[in-house]
Structure 1
Amino acid sequence: METTANSLVEYGSRRIIITITAVVCAMLELIDTTIVNVALNDLRGNLGATVNEIGWVITAYSLANVIIVPMTSWLSQQFGRRNYFAASVLIFTICSFLCGHATGIWELVIFRFIQGLGGGALLVTSQTIIAESWPAEKRAIAQGIYTLGLLVGPSIGPTLGGYLIDNYSWPLIFYINVPIGLLAAVLAIRYVKSPRYEKKRPASQVDWLGIGLLTAGVASLQYVLEKGQEDDWFSSKLIILLTVIAILGILLFIWRELVYQYPVVELRVLRDTNLRIGSILTFLIGFGLFGTTFVLPLYTQGLLGWTALQSGLLLLPGTLFTAVMIALVSQLIQRGAQSKYLIALGMAVFFVYGYWSYHLLTLETGSSNLYLVLFVRALGLGFLFVPVTAMSLSTLEGKEIGQGAALTGMLRQLGGAFGVALITTFVSRQSQQHRIALISHLPANDPAVQQRVNLLTARFQSQGYDLAGARHAAYNLLEVTVQKQSTLLSYMDVFLWIGTLFLICIPFVLIFVRKSARKISLAEAGAH
């Protein structure tokens, strides 16, 4: 146990200021992962970029995130947590300003990459700071507050981005970070402490090989996941090469970190049962949450014709309800509720969300129905996020908290990347299968089909088309309708399969989290 002299626990206004600063910084990072999505068309037009080039604005940020996240604990040790946290805030803030000033696509991509290096550090270091600023017996509440930031950030991003793009111009989506970031940097320097257990290592002990293997392996994996579907996966020689680099790089990195005396990422911390189980669950939650969140705007904007602002506003009521659930679940854990039962309940509710969405989605679904199902999603996330996050770090102490937060942060990012990549591929292939199935039920000689074509032809003729043009337009409209319906069916399949995945995991949670729950109980009892 830490001595009182070395304790980082804060009280009163200092704890409030530190917690708010850390949560806001985490939210800034997450907002910037989604806010750019709604501005891609404006960026293309203003910077003269192709579709492939503009995609790098998102990819560069994600690559930087996934590279820096696992190294944050080590970098914090090298530079001191307060200095590293404040420097990361400043890097993120300065690069936000430079992104808004970018005059070319590759200039923007470079600034986005550097911004992502600062932002990724904010996400993990914020979690560590919050966990250590609260006493062990109240750590569930602390992680609940952090979790709220994780959920609010991605929800605010599209809404805020849509509003700024519709009413102002694209640079403002970056400039809005500047005043908040500068204030956060000042507060970090003033209030955040650096732990005494963090000692800088000499250059001779720095794990340069581990850094190189991690960068090569994880960056290659992230690229494959981001661009695989776009490049038709293993039809591309580059994807094949990067897949080999990713596999070899990650395997060699794991070996290096387990045998080297001074690893850049302390994988041995995974011997802690809570952290090991929590890391797996964090990956799964990242997969399910980011996967379904990725599909929602495609459905509302692509099939229902909503604006980016309308799609963003759809998530806000559910996010507010999630905040209520986080407070409630944090109190339940505080009063002794076992994490495994809360997690199992959350997975069951998430299955209901997926199953309901599967039956709810149509080409005419109204916003009121979507709000209802998203409240169920919020209920499930409340029961999932807080217990998993609190359990993962509950039995760690000292520098292990930062190491554990870095690992769970990386797995959350990779879970989301895997989710988006697999779902993108799944949707593409399922859409083709559904299209073939739908067309097979629309034979040209079917009287009902011919009647539909004749009605559409007559409608187009009334609009001034000649007979040949009207008939061609009628068949084109039928093709568009089939394509929309096949895409919708593929989105429905996504929700059903993800919901089923969570349902299948419930028995494993009830079996394997048992030992973890006892450890939490003992740790909290000792803290009291």
Structure 2
Amino acid sequence: MNAPDFFKPWIKKRKLVLWVALFLILLSGIIQFGLYALNQNYVVSHFGAQPEDITLSLQLTYVGILAILPIQFRFLRYFERRSYMITVITISILLSIASLYTTDIFVFMVLRLLIGIEVACIAGSILTLYFASLPPDKATAIGSTIFYTTILGNVVVVGILSAWVTDNYDWPNIYKYLTGYQVFTLLLVLLLLKPKTGMKRYPLYQIDWFSFVAMLTFGISLAYTFIYGPKFYWFTDQRIVTSGFIAFMSIGIIYYRQTTLKRPYLHPGVFKSKQFIAGLLLLVVYFGIKDSINLIYGYCATVVRWDTYKIMRLAALNFSGTLIFTIVSLVVLAKKLPFRVLFIPGLTLLAIYHIWMYSIFTTDMSFSDLAWPVFLQGAASGMLFFPIIVFTVSGLPAYVGFTGISMATISRFITGLNSFAGFYTLQLYFNQMNKERFLRNLTNLNDNFSQRFNQFVQLFRSKGFGIDQANALAHTNINRALTVQSQLMTNMYVFKLMFIISVTVLLMVIVAPYVNRFFQFLFTPKNRPAIR
């Protein structure tokens, strides 16, 4: 049977126009995921919520994605692509309109969960359309490069646009622009796709909706546990105990069902592949290490107080490194070179980036100070993200379907939560340790402290404040400086720890083939000594 014919005749010979149009449709879904990732303060003030509430709303989008991902590929084999895309984009428009008018944070969280489901449906559909529009021998490589680079770079692109909107209008108005863009992509779908494709339809029977609900439950409860755990002192709080228990029971139910069903939600056969397990572990480490870039963005916003546009320019520089070296990775993989050719320099760049940041952290770093390290981090991501994904899923048999991609998405979700909670907890620990160390020196016997304190007092007295007010303001400024210094030293400790992890993983990647050969030699029967 011939492959489905998705595209109208007029667009088939205009490949570049087709790929750009597909990219624009893909962007309409992806940008919803990171819509306010780099400017959450606007959302916090709009809803009057806590920062943790906004972080949870972001992660709920991820929960929707990872829950629907194993199922939505079944949808693509049953529904005609044009009608499917029209339905999904129409739903996304309705969700954007609802997000525009909601003022309740809990309603907004529900909408974000539904948006995650819709984002996965758009992204998965466009990915398969890319595969259909490219030559078979290049479809996976080029299509996946466009897809994953868009995922990595969407936060930067959306951040720049949303910063402009929020600087000129109230934050919810961003959904007006998003709705207009979604209507535009709906027109693109009508122009590009044929109503009937001649595809062979596979019935939607034995879909494991129970596991879908269990995955939603697992994702929501795990996100709550990791995001609010540090704030509520983890399992000393009954809420965290309950959410942790629900997450544990949900993942147990999911695992049990996958081992007993004929058509599982996630095929357990993926864990029979050593290459998949190794790739998944490498992916987890990479995601955990790369998230240290958020410490730099936080430093720029809170310590040196850059405006949003300047932070976005720094993020754009990071993305440029990702884009350039993702293309380099594509060329390397096309030449069938070993994955280690990319893994080793990628991990090396990550290690250099972390030790560089550890070495230069001060209270007044400029854009030029941060430019090269941030670019190196992007270059490392370009050399690691897509190659690790390919390495992870390339060794899987065909019968496991898209479980490899789904597991990679789940690993990103869990690692992201772990990074948030881990960095939060590390900062609490190191901040407290640094403050106690500093406070031991803040006495009248310390000449530096006394001199600095007297300078502040004289400064405020010269501005007309009384002696008591000047003393109080001097203490406030000393405390602010103490907090900034504690945070800077905490960031340095985190970068040092990430450097150690990067070097450790790098050494493991370097020696792994030799260790593997040694054990193969040792346990090969012909190499065993004869028993006399």
Structure number with greater Rg is 2
Letter in 1 for 2:144: Q
| Unmatched 5+ stretches in structure 1 | 517-528
Q: In the alignment, what sits opposite 2:496?
A: 496
Mapped to 1, the partners of 2:414 and 2:362 lie a distance apart of 31
The structural deviation recorded for 1:283 is 2.7
Q: In the alignment, what sits opposite 1:156?
A: 157
Q: In the alignment, what sits opposite 2:530?
A: none
Mapped to 1, the partners of 2:286 and 2:126 lie a distance apart of 20
Mapped to 1, the partners of 2:240 and 2:377 lie a distance apart of 35
Q: Is the 8 A contact 2:71 2:207 kept in 1?
A: no
Mapped to 1, the partners of 2:87 and 2:152 lie a distance apart of 25
Letter in 1 for 2:204: R
The structural deviation recorded for 1:12 is 6.0
Q: Is the 8 A contact 1:159 1:311 kept in 2?
A: no
Q: In the alignment, what sits opposite 1:309?
A: 309
Q: Is the 8 A contact 1:74 1:264 kept in 2?
A: no
The structural deviation recorded for 1:158 is 2.5
> Does residue 428 of structure 1 match 2:428?
yes
Letter in 2 for 1:482: L
2:204 to 192, 195, 201: 201
Mapped to 2, the partners of 1:513 and 1:88 lie a distance apart of 46
The structural deviation recorded for 1:485 is 0.7
The structural deviation recorded for 1:365 is 0.6
The structural deviation recorded for 1:185 is 4.0
Q: In the alignment, what sits opposite 2:258?
A: 257
Bigger shift: 428-437 or 501-510?
501-510
State the SS of the aligned residue for 2:35: helix
With normalisation by structure 2, the TM-score equals: 0.85
Render the CA deviation track for 1:35-77: whole Å, top value 9, x for unaligned.
3245544445445556665555435434433433444334445
Mapped to 1, the partners of 2:82 and 2:221 lie a distance apart of 31
Q: In the alignment, what sits opposite 1:473?
A: 473
Mapped to 2, the partners of 1:230 and 1:77 lie a distance apart of 44
Q: In the alignment, what sits opposite 1:416?
A: 416
Bigger shift: 178-187 or 482-491?
178-187
With normalisation by structure 1, the TM-score equals: 0.85
Mapped to 2, the partners of 1:60 and 1:491 lie a distance apart of 27
Q: Summarize the Cα distance change of 1:128–1:246 in structure 2 as closer, same or farther, 3 Å threshold.
A: farther
Q: Summarize the Cα distance change of 1:230–1:18 in structure 2 as closer, same or farther, 3 Å threshold.
A: farther
Q: In the alignment, what sits opposite 1:443?
A: 443
Q: In the alignment, what sits opposite 1:180?
A: 181
Q: In the alignment, what sits opposite 1:357?
A: 357
Q: In the alignment, what sits opposite 2:526?
A: none
Mapped to 2, the partners of 1:453 and 1:261 lie a distance apart of 73
> Does residue 328 of structure 1 match 2:331?
no
Q: Is the 8 A contact 1:158 1:312 kept in 2?
A: yes
Mapped to 2, the partners of 1:495 and 1:194 lie a distance apart of 52
Q: Is the 8 A contact 1:35 1:160 kept in 2?
A: no
Q: In the alignment, what sits opposite 1:144?
A: 145
Q: In the alignment, what sits opposite 1:171?
A: 172
Q: Is the 8 A contact 2:78 2:203 kept in 1?
A: yes
Q: In the alignment, what sits opposite 2:525?
A: none
Q: In the alignment, what sits opposite 2:509?
A: 509
Q: Is the 8 A contact 1:143 1:390 kept in 2?
A: no
Q: In the alignment, what sits opposite 1:118?
A: 118
Q: Is the 8 A contact 2:32 2:115 kept in 1?
A: no
Mapped to 1, the partners of 2:198 and 2:412 lie a distance apart of 25
Q: Summarize the Cα distance change of 1:37–1:151 in structure 2 as closer, same or farther, 3 Å threshold.
A: closer
Mapped to 2, the partners of 1:515 and 1:448 lie a distance apart of 55
The structural deviation recorded for 1:151 is 2.0
Mapped to 1, the partners of 2:84 and 2:259 lie a distance apart of 25
Q: Is the 8 A contact 1:29 1:122 kept in 2?
A: yes
Mapped to 2, the partners of 1:74 and 1:181 lie a distance apart of 24
Q: How does 1:27-176 map to 2 (within 5 A)?
A: 27-37=27-37, 40-49=40-49, 57-77=57-77, 79=79, 84-131=84-131, 133-135=133-135, 137-138=137-138, 139-176=140-177
Letter in 1 for 2:302: G
Render the CA deviation track for 1:456-503: whole Å, top value 9, x for unaligned.
111111111111221121122111101111111112222222232222
Letter in 2 for 1:428: L
Mapped to 2, the partners of 1:459 and 1:494 lie a distance apart of 36
Q: How does 1:332-411 map to 2 (within 5 A)?
A: 332-394=332-394, 402-411=402-411
Render the CA deviation track for 1:81-114: whole Å, top value 9, x for unaligned.
6655554333333312321232444443332232
State the SS of the aligned residue for 1:263: coil
The structural deviation recorded for 1:194 is 7.9
Mapped to 2, the partners of 1:385 and 1:56 lie a distance apart of 24
Letter in 1 for 2:202: K
Letter in 1 for 2:361: L
State the SS of the aligned residue for 1:430: helix
Q: Is the 8 A contact 1:128 1:402 kept in 2?
A: no
Q: In the alignment, what sits opposite 2:527?
A: none
Q: Summarize the Cα distance change of 1:97–1:478 in structure 2 as closer, same or farther, 3 Å threshold.
A: same
Letter in 2 for 1:247: F
The higher relative CO (CA closer than 8 Å, separation ≥ 6) is in 1
Q: Summarize the Cα distance change of 1:49–1:219 in structure 2 as closer, same or farther, 3 Å threshold.
A: closer
Q: In the alignment, what sits opposite 2:212?
A: 211
Render the CA deviation track for 1:483-525: whole Å, top value 9, x for unaligned.
1111111122222222322221124434668999xxxxxxxxx
The structural deviation recorded for 1:16 is 4.7
Q: Summarize the Cα distance change of 1:392–1:132 in structure 2 as closer, same or farther, 3 Å threshold.
A: farther
Q: Is the 8 A contact 2:297 2:311 kept in 1?
A: yes
State the SS of the aligned residue for 1:121: helix
Q: Summarize the Cα distance change of 1:344–1:135 in structure 2 as closer, same or farther, 3 Å threshold.
A: farther
Letter in 1 for 2:483: Q
Letter in 1 for 2:181: I
Bigger shift: 300-309 or 36-45?
36-45
| Unmatched 5+ stretches in structure 2 | 517-532
Mapped to 1, the partners of 2:198 and 2:240 lie a distance apart of 42
Letter in 2 for 1:314: L
The structural deviation recorded for 1:244 is 1.6
Q: In the alignment, what sits opposite 2:523?
A: none
Mapped to 1, the partners of 2:131 and 2:511 lie a distance apart of 27
> Does residue 238 of structure 1 match 2:239?
yes
Mapped to 2, the partners of 1:336 and 1:17 lie a distance apart of 30
Q: Is the 8 A contact 1:229 1:425 kept in 2?
A: yes
Q: Is the 8 A contact 1:257 1:266 kept in 2?
A: yes
Mapped to 1, the partners of 2:486 and 2:271 lie a distance apart of 43
The structural deviation recorded for 1:354 is 1.0
Letter in 2 for 1:257: Q
State the SS of the aligned residue for 2:402: helix
Mapped to 2, the partners of 1:383 and 1:297 lie a distance apart of 22
Bigger shift: 348-357 or 291-300?
291-300
Q: In the alignment, what sits opposite 2:524?
A: none
Bigger shift: 456-465 or 386-395?
386-395
State the Cα RMSD in Å: 3.3
